[in-house]
A and B are shown apart, each in its own frame.
Chain A
Amino acid sequence: MKNVLATKRGIIGVGIAIGVLASLLQFWGNPANMGICVACFVRDITGALGLHRAPVVQYMRPEIIGFVLGSFVSAYIFKEFRPRLGSAPVVRFTLGFFAMIGALIFLGCPWRALLRLAGGDFNAILGLLGLAAGIWIGTMFLKSGYNLGSSHKTYTSAGWIFPIIMLVFLIIMLFNPMIAGESKSGIIFYSLEGPGSLHAPLIISLVIGLVIGVLAQRSRFCTMGAIRDLILFKQTHLFVGLISLAVAAFIMNLVLNQFNPGFANQPVAHTMHIWNFAGMVLAGLAFTLAGGCPGRQLFLSGEGDGDASVFVIGMIVGAAFAHNFGLASSGAGATTAGIVALSIGFISCLLIGFTMKENISGGI
């Protein structure tokens, strides 16, 4: 069967769908220029579980749950579920960890960088330039033989673990629903103010998450891959999807009156250009070394890739560290601790890139 979504028209359609749905999610209640942000939403889930206690970013984001479960269902329907694992898990954990640190210094994943730009937040330009620079560094490593080695086939039940974790998160949320004015319901936390308190209705978030999960699994949508393939192979296939997302979100923002151009006073953003840039250099490098942007790692987790799941778990731990130790930026800007963590992240990713090479024609 031909996979229509993996064609050029397909990837453009998926980009448009994600852009439109993200703007609508903002319209229905998600934070400004954050209709969807994989890094921020994984961070919010980390907070909902109490793994960090920053009271403004705690919410069990159903979009993330939907992404994984949508991809899982799609992979089963189209017979693409392939349980696999075993390619350098601790390295992928480390990359996920520092990808999150970098993203939280900029305040967004690549998806949100595009949505921020589409909403008129020009600080996102620095983030996107940083992302491209980080990916460019990553392609240098790829060209010189960087490779984390092969994964291998595993048990079906092993591929189910991450989707089941997401299902459990959903069940926890359904049994511990939000109570107006309460910061805790049963065992999970709910923000009363800040971005964590802003969200579309649960069912809308979940359904849109599921739809995007299916679309992205089928189309292999990946923002890092878009820029990487352009630099490495001069290939525009995924890149047109990325552009479609930004253009669609921009038009929807105009329609919904959500476009506010400028640098200052942008929602959940700061104007420290150097750190906006540097944060995303680190994130872009980590995504490239791991083979996918945060969204793509979720979709891969849904189709049975246990190594992608380890990357996401690294992101969760990274988010906990970021807020427990004051590494994440805020509207006031980057923090000194964040800059120290950023430096450690660069050293770690460069060491990974320089030392994990093999002769490309042989095996490990």
Chain B
Amino acid sequence: MSKIIDAKGLSCPQPVILTLNAIKKTTDGELIILVDTDTAKENVSRAASAQGWEAADIKPENDGYRITLRKEK
């Protein structure tokens, strides 16, 4: 089960900070990030790709998005 980071409702740049911290800590190749704005969705995807991760899947969920990040091989 991938770790789930709930960044819903947080202002800029908290969702990105939480994502980057999780990327640093995780030993898994996958993370789930929950956000509630399009800005946060874009920022999280952009920051992850700069770390060599990709937003493998983005699904609308509960008035927000569930972003699945995967480490690029």
Cβ-defined contact, A233 with B9, below 8 A: no
Q: Which residues, 27 to 73 on B, are CB-close (under 8 Å) to A?
A: 36-39, 42-43, 46-47, 50, 63
A-side interface size class:
20 to 34
CB-contact partner of A3 in B11, B38, B50, under 8 A: B38
A265 on the interface (CB 8 Å rule)?
A: no
Q: Give chain B nearest CB distance to A14 CB in angstroms.
A: 14
CB-contact partner of B9 in A6, A142, A152, A220, under 8 A: A152
Cβ-defined contact, A291 with B12, below 8 A: yes
B-side interface size class:
20 to 34
Q: Which residues, 147 to 187 on A, are CB-close (under 8 Å) to B?
A: 147-153
Q: Which residues, 67 to 91 on A, are CB-close (under 8 Å) to B?
A: 78, 80, 82, 84, 86-87
CB-contact partner of A235 in B9, B50, B63, under 8 A: B50
Q: Give chain A nearest CB distance to B64 CB in angstroms.
A: 8
Chain A interface main SS type: loop
Residues of A within 8 A of B43 (CB): 220
Q: How far is the CA of A152 from the CA of B14 in the complex (A)?
A: 15
A237 on the interface (CB 8 Å rule)?
A: yes
Chain B interface main SS type: helix
Residues of A within 8 A of B18 (CB): 360
Cβ-defined contact, A147 with B10, below 8 A: yes
Cβ-defined contact, A142 with B46, below 8 A: no
Residues of A within 8 A of B63 (CB): 82, 153
Residues of B within 8 A of A151 (CB): 9-11
Question: With contacts A80-B38, A82-B37, A360-B21 known, is A237 near B13, CB below 8 A?
Answer: no
Residues of A within 8 A of B47 (CB): 233, 235
Cβ-defined contact, B38 with A153, below 8 A: no
Cβ-defined contact, B39 with A235, below 8 A: no
A228 on the interface (CB 8 Å rule)?
A: yes
Cβ-defined contact, B13 with A307, below 8 A: no
Q: Give chain B nearest CB distance to A19 CB in angstroms.
A: 22
Cβ-defined contact, A292 with B10, below 8 A: no
Cβ-defined contact, A229 with B13, below 8 A: yes
User: Which of the listed residues A86, A148, A150, A291 has the most CB atoms from chain B within 10 Å of its own CB?
Assistant: A150
Cβ-defined contact, B42 with A220, below 8 A: yes
Q: Give chain A nearest CB distance to B56 CB in angstroms.
A: 17
Cβ-defined contact, B13 with A291, below 8 A: yes
Question: With contacts A82-B63, A233-B50, A291-B12 known, is A142 near B36, CB below 8 A?
Answer: no
Residues of B within 8 A of A292 (CB): 11-12
Q: How far is the CA of A174 from the CA of B13 in the complex (A)?
A: 39
In chain B, what residue has the closest Cβ to A289? B11
In chain A, what residue has the closest Cβ to B62? A153
Q: How far is the CA of A270 from the CA of B69 in the complex (A)?
A: 50
Residues of A within 8 A of B9 (CB): 84, 86-87, 149-152
In chain A, what residue has the closest Cβ to B5? A361
A225 on the interface (CB 8 Å rule)?
A: yes
Q: Give chain B nearest CB distance to A291 CB in angstroms.
A: 4
Interchain Cβ contacts under 8 Å between A and B, 10 examples: A148-B11, A150-B8, A151-B9, A152-B9, A233-B47, A233-B50, A235-B46, A291-B13, A292-B11, A361-B21
Identify the 6 closest CB pairs spanning chains A and B, nearest first: A150-B9, A291-B11, A151-B9, A291-B12, A80-B38, A220-B39
Assuming A235-B46, A237-B46, what are 10 further A-B pairs, CB within 8 angstroms?
A: A3-B38, A82-B37, A82-B63, A84-B9, A87-B10, A142-B17, A220-B39, A225-B12, A233-B16, A235-B47
